[in-house]
Amino acid sequence: MIKKIFLVMAVLMILKLTVGCSQDRAAINNPTNDIKEITLCENWEFEQFSTILTPANSKNYGFAAYLANFYETLVNYQDGQIVPGLAESWNISPDGLVYTFHLKQGIKFSDGADFDAGAVKRNLEMIPVLSGEYNGAFAVVTTLFKEFKVFDRYTIEIHLTAPYYGALHDFTKLNPLAMMSPNAFTEDDTISEQILTATMGTGPYMLAGQSDGSGFTFVQNPNYHGAKPDVTQFRVKVIPDNQTKALALRNGEIDLIFGWDKLSYDVFKEFSADKRYGTKVSNENGMTRYIGFNVAKAPFNDRQVRLAVSHAIDKTSICDNLFYGIESKADTLLNRSLPYCDVAVEPYQYDLEKANKILDEAGWRDIDGDGIREKDGQRLAGEILYTSGLGTDDDLILTISRGLKKLGMDVKEKGLDMMAWYAESLQGNFTLAYKTTYYIPDVPFTLISNMNSEIMVDKMMAQGLAHLPDGNQLIIGLNSMVDQQEIQQRYAYILGEIHQNISFVPISYIKELVVFNADKITDYQFYGQPWQVNIAGIKLR
């Protein structure tokens, strides 16, 4: 009996020592007393963790807004300027055909691979391959890659087939130009299966492991070369419904909600008035809400109809009442603060009387007294296609359709999920559609490029110059210009034509929103590309 007691005590002592040693090792690698975790939410599951996201490999782009937490680009976009990223400096040849990047030294990817010119070369070679038919849709410069020359371990030359005035801005784009570990690619030029279950970048965080079914956990990247952020790990819970997101924040299930598309402005104002929560609004307003027309389909192939619509939407009322003054009225598709976009045009002001007169004079009249105008047997009617369930969008579309009803126009709301909306718009199955312009720094460069209808990746933008027989050539010519004065003149012409033809009706300029638990978080700093979730920009108590 005594022997058995001693045996049990010995086993317990060994177990205690073993567990103690394991705990000591865990404490060294990730001290439990230093863990500072926050939880936030997203609409969708993350399907993969690559920096090359296209409609062919991603159903929802959910991960796209988190790329800056795991990956870095050669150069960064910050307050309207291009600043060093993984490259400490760069040179551009006078003819705009060669970009030389001098890389920072001593940086490793989260999987331990070295960041050097060879890794950059491998990434750049693979982007066109993995982008497939969407190569150029997210960054024009990737269609111009000709040759990559590695001069030494930390110097690489990128040769282009033609100059492109927006090339340096393209190099700031996390999708598709953020750098992944060479191990993210296979020897036969495909994406590695590892990228489906791991992040493989040089950024401040990395994936901790597979999803547990309710969300994802990310931890600090031990190889990160920058200052350590306050948050040591964070969780992203999948909560599709926006009302449920707000309830989860109030109940303490999550600590932060990021993005104008995840909050109605009513809810944002409620949180702003509650001292238990902090709220912030970004300074940048590069994105524009707008209504686009299919100019090839009746009745919106009639410019007078489009002109009437432009005078029938009360943007000031929408901004004041629906957006609580946070968003400002948009008179132009692209904010004039953006590069090359400071082009003066005469705004189409809200004037319902004028809108009615325009339609009367154009022959659109309510003949049968049903409240809807007609002309030559064609009813003044259509559908407005939009992505439902995002922020205040449902209320916005309802407000617009009701306003057009006062004009004698029957516009039905057609809300779809993101990918269904994309499929319908790409096929041209719309008369009107609601959308937002691209994020900074995609505007104006990529957006204007996608007005080339031959690219066929954005059917909405392709309407912009569809009325001009040489519209595509205008874009092609612009992209190869190097003289700044010529570029500005071309922009003035293009933006003037878009405005004059009323291809789009801009509504308001968007700013990003964030709400957080003030008992846990003291501040949030927006990333240089403010649509990116910036966990490193969170300051904790």
Reading the block at residue 63, the tokens are 């991960």
Query: d(Cα 259, Cα 442) in Å, to the nearest integer?
Result: 18
Which of 48-57, 80-89, 351-360 is the least confident region? 48-57
pLDDT at res. 26? 34
User: Which band of pLDDT confidence, cut at 50, 70 and 90, is reported for residue 33?
Assistant: low
pLDDT at res. 23? 34
Query: E strand or H helix at 82, and its extent?
Result: strand 81-84
pLDDT in tens, 265-323: 999 999 999 999 999 999 987 899 999 999 999 999 999 999 999 999 999 999 999 99
**CA end-to-end span of the chain:** 56
The pLDDT of residue 213 is above 80: no
Query: E strand or H helix at 27, and its extent?
Result: helix 2-29
Are 313 and 507 spatial neighbours (Cβ–Cβ below 8 Å)?
Answer: yes
Query: d(Cα 497, Cα 476) in Å, to the nearest integer?
Result: 16
Are 99 and 168 spatial neighbours (Cβ–Cβ below 8 Å)?
Answer: yes
Residue type, 315: K
Contacts for 398-402 with beta carbons within 8 Å, 24 or more apart? 399/318, 399/322, 400/291, 400/313, 400/318, 400/434, 400/507
The pLDDT of residue 328 is above 60: yes
Question: What proportion of the chain, given as a percentage, has pLDDT over 90?
Answer: 84
pLDDT in tens, 408-467: 999 999 999 888 898 898 888 899 999 999 999 999 999 999 999 988 788 889 999 999
Residue type, 218: F
**What burial letters (b/e) apply to 76-108, b meaning 16+ CB within 10 Å?**
bbeeeebeebbbeebeeeeebbbbbbbbbeebb
Query: What is the residue-averaged pLDDT of the chain?
Result: 91
pLDDT at res. 7? 39
Residue type, 66: Y
pLDDT at res. 214? 77
Reading the block at residue 215, the tokens are 């969300």
Are 334 and 287 spatial neighbours (Cβ–Cβ below 8 Å)?
Answer: no
Q: 386 Cβ partners below 8 Å, 6+ apart?
A: 393, 397, 413, 414, 415, 416, 421, 433, 434, 435
Q: 199 Cβ partners below 8 Å, 6+ apart?
A: 49, 70, 71, 110, 205, 206, 207, 218
The pLDDT of residue 389 is above 60: yes
The pLDDT of residue 485 is above 50: yes
pLDDT at res. 419? 81
User: Which band of pLDDT confidence, cut at 50, 70 and 90, is reported for residue 210?
Assistant: low
Q: What angle do the packed helices 352-361 and 303-312 form, to 10 degrees?
A: 160
pLDDT in tens, 108-162: 999 999 999 999 999 999 999 999 999 998 999 999 999 999 999 999 999 999 9
197 phi and psi angles, rounded to 5 deg: -130, 10
pTM of the model: 0.90
Reading the block at residue 303, the tokens are 């410019």
User: Which band of pLDDT confidence, cut at 50, 70 and 90, is reported for residue 59?
Assistant: confident
Which of 308, 421, 320, 419 lies closest to 354 in space, CA to CA? Answer: 308
Question: Rg for the chain (alpha carbons), in Å?
Answer: 26
Domains of the chain, each with CATH number or no CATH:
32-238 (3.40.190.10), 288-509 (3.10.105.10)
Q: HEC profile for 126-155? A: HHHHHHHHHCCCCCHHHHCEEEEEEEECCE
Are 86 and 104 spatial neighbours (Cβ–Cβ below 8 Å)?
Answer: yes
- Per-residue pLDDT, averaged over 201-229, amounts to 91
pLDDT in tens, 61-77: 889 999 999 999 999 99
Which of 437, 430, 441, 466 lies closest to 451 in space, CA to CA? Answer: 466
**Residue 340: CB atoms within 10 Å:** 22
